[in-house]
Each structure stands twice: as structure tokens, then as C-alpha cells.
Structure 1
């Protein structure tokens, strides 16, 4: 590695190293861009230049960590969601495109001049609640989480992004008992224990199990939400829930029983997988 000095040479070596570790080779370039706050064009312009030793040292350290399984977002300490930078830690999930689609689906059915009360259950790093508040400033957004450490991260993100969100600590709807909301949205834990063997080790080792796994085949939190949300959802209100791609029918049945007169639908993500349960009451 000593002989590799230019950006082109170091990136080529780093990409090959990641490939041997069965990681995405393009992560090397992504890590470099994020560390230097560069664009793809910036890298192209510097390819034949010598890489400064401090930049090289940082990149090799980052690539080594990623090769060992650490997600890029955990290495950097942040992830991007809806074109905004959110701090992430071992106590929060990494922002994912599927969750962006859930938020986008909700926002498309609203307008900036509406005034809605929104509850984000299990907010984690705050990506859902904060994004909704930034995109719809007139909405009153409340976010809850059982993890005080996750809530601390969410509050940091809200302060940095200047989003006025009310954060409450507690289990599911317990912190807002007695209140009602127009919209409830959540990405709850939904992975069953028997799916552990199929999961990427980086997820198991670097993301909080509290936010990932649920009992009863991954359905336990949905069952609790179905019991608790009828008391706090306003007439005509809606619920948006991210689901595992094999859970659509079961979660649909759970909420149809809880809301017999509501329209409960399954919606797919861009990959064609079941990803969202939408409950629309009258």
C-alpha cells in the first residue's frame, strides 16, 4: 500500500479491499466524498494528484472499519434522510430508503397550509418526525421512544435542523395517554427471532436490537399498537406503519379488526415489496 499515492491508486486499492471483504466497493469513494465534503466531480478532478497523508490515513481507517462490517453511517456518525444529515449512533437505526418512501407517501397526501397533529412512535434518531416538521412547518409533531439514549440523539438532530418537535420518553403511546392525533406514523420493530440467521451481521452488531426485533413472529408491536391507537386517533385520522415485506396480510388483518370501519390497505415500495400499512378512518 506504501506505493499507492494518488487518489486514483488509493481508491482502486480500497475498492478492491472492500470487494474481498464482500462489501460494496463504491463505499470507498463514498467515504472519501463525505470526509472531504466533495462531489463526484471533485474526485474526478483530483484523481491523478497525490493524496495527502492525513486523508489517506483516514480513508484506510474508514475502509478497514467498513471491511470489518461497520456500516458507513456508523463510521461517519451520520446518515442522510430526505436530503438532510442526521446524527446516528449505536442506539439508533440507520436511515433507510424504505422509510423515506413511507414519509413521502404520507406527505404527498397533505398540503403545506394544513394544520395536523402528528405522532411519530418509536422515533429513534428522529428522522420521521423531524422530516415531517421541516416539510410541513404548520404541523404539530410529537415523537416518542422507549430509549432515552435514542431520544437524546433525536433531540440533537432537531436542534441542529431547527425543527420544533415535542419529544416524550415512554413505551409506544403511553407518553401521550389522554391526547388525540390526526396522524400516527411509525417504523416499529418487526423482525422475528427466527429471521436472525438471514440478517447481515453489520445490522446485528451495530444497530439496536430494541428497535429491530419483536416477539410473536415480529407482530407483537403491531398488535399492541392496534390495541392502543383507537383511543388516540381522531375521527377521520390516518395511520402509516412500515412493515416487513412478508407481513402485509397479517398486519392488515390486525388493524382491520381494530378499526372495523376503516380502509386498511397494503402499499408497496419501489422494489415491489409490501412496505406500508395505511389505515384510513372516516
Structure 2
């Protein structure tokens, strides 16, 4: 089987089971197996696959037919122009979350300290560190397996010395440490909504990182209530939210007199995506 035939066969199999972007997924998996680039399909469509490549490609296509996300199959995902290691223990970094990083970088100055709650793959904190100078981050997660991935990512990106990872339920121990920025992409999907999500999400991404309890706001309440013990005066809290949670999270902050300069920021699709507040 040649390269073009393998690619078309992959598209057909993925299309039959209703995979969105079947062409893109088939190409990415083929490039992974054959260690090729995007140009190979156009420059060398008659390139013959080895027996092993053909077998490996069929195996990966079968995994994708089962709705396993491509990022988990490949073991990595690009985010903010960086490449992050991912597996089933962490959420796949999404473009929507780049809005949170971009907003944080607007308020991040050299030498600042950042606290990243529910760090997962570490993509938020490590991206902030990568695009700033002399900053340091403390990153927390309740999952040891997620922290192992985040630590690996810090090493791969050359940021190990600037990032600390702590296993804890949301906040690090209260030792008087203060931060200039607190960022978080917490679990925010209501429990009964999770089963309505695409199979790639509900069947493969870690439920621990998705489930925001009955109304999806449980973690926001905890963060809004407790984060003042960790922020410097005039420090900022910046959180990702669901597209329909902007008003609810804004009201949580407005009801607490310790916050001001509260704003809901939209993503590039026009949906509410980030909430920012300054601590007095």
C-alpha cells in the first residue's frame, strides 16, 4: 500500500464512524507512523509503506475509530507554540485555554511568582514561564499521575528549575507564601452534563479534571473564597470558565468585597472564556 492509498483508507474508516476532521486525523496518524511531514502526501504519494508501517497505521486508525483522541494516541499536543506531553491522566490542552495564558501574560512582569491551581499537564504555568523572564511558578494538582506529566513537561521545556509541583487538593499548604498571579482552569462541567459530551471527552479525558459538581461552580466558590490568602495586594486571579458561566462566576467575585476590576473576557469565537479579578 502506498502513502496516498493508506491516507485515503484512513479517511474512509474514520468518516464511516463520524469522526470530525477525519482527513486531518488520518494524516497526523500517518505522519506519526511514517515519520514524515505534511509535504510527503503531495511530494511522494506513491511512497510504499513497509509492512510494519501499514500494520501500525491500521492499529492507530482503529484506536481513533474507537474515539480515542489523537493527542492521546500521539502522546503530545501543541499549545501556545510549545509541545506538551499528554496522556489519559491530563486534559488535552485546547486553544480556548490559550486565552487564559494570553490574559495572564498581560499582567505578568519579570520576576513575578505564579500559582497554578489544577495544573494538569502544566501547560498554563509553563507557557507563562516560557514567555516571561525570571518568573517562577508553584503548580498544584490532586492527581499524582498528572503531576508526573507536568514535571516531565517542565523538564522537556527547560523550565524545571523555575517550576515547583505540589500534590494537594487545590491549594498548597498555608505557609505565608504570596503570589502575584493565581491562574486556574478548574473542573467546571456540571456532573450531569458530562455524559452528553463527545466520546473523546467523556470516555477518555480524566473525569477528575472535568467534574465541577452539580452546577459546575464548586471549584470557583472555593477559589474565590480562599485565594486572598495567597495573593499579594493588587495581585490578579485569572480563571478559565465555561461559555455559559461568565455571569455566575462574575457574581461570585462581585459578592466578595475583597475583589475589584472584575472582567469577563471572550475567546476568539465570541464566547465567555476567562474571568479576571484584582485582589485589594
**Band the TM-score falls in, shorter-chain normalisation:** over 0.9
Q: Which moved more, 1:48-57 or 1:15-24?
A: 48-57
> 2:17 maps to what in 1?
21
Alignment of 1:85-234 (within 5 A): 85-110=83-108, 114-163=110-159, 164-234=162-232
Task: Give the aligned length.
Answer: 276
CA distance in 1, matches of 2:48, 2:248: 57
1:177 deviates by 4.6
Q: 1:12 aligns with which of 4, 8, 13?
A: 8
Q: 1:266 to 1:94 in 2, by over 3 A?
A: same
CA distance in 2, matches of 1:229, 1:182: 11
Q: 1:49 aligns with which of 47, 50, 70?
A: 47
CA distance in 1, matches of 2:206, 2:143: 10
CA distance in 1, matches of 2:256, 2:214: 18
Alignment of 1:237-248 (within 5 A): 237-248=235-246
CA distance in 2, matches of 1:83, 1:36: 23
Could you tell me whether the CA contact under 8 Å between 1:230 and 1:258 is conserved in 2? no
Q: Which moved more, 1:247-256 or 1:156-165?
A: 156-165
Structure 2 unaligned runs (5+)?
none
> 1:256 maps to what in 2?
254
Could you tell me whether the CA contact under 8 Å between 1:79 and 1:95 is conserved in 2? yes
Could you tell me whether the CA contact under 8 Å between 2:119 and 2:141 is conserved in 1? yes
Name the TM-score, length of structure 1 as normaliser: 0.93
**RMSD of the TM alignment (CA)?**
1.6
Q: 1:58 to 1:175 in 2, by over 3 A?
A: farther
Question: Matched residue of 2:186: which SS?
Answer: coil
Could you tell me whether the CA contact under 8 Å between 1:237 and 1:280 is conserved in 2? yes
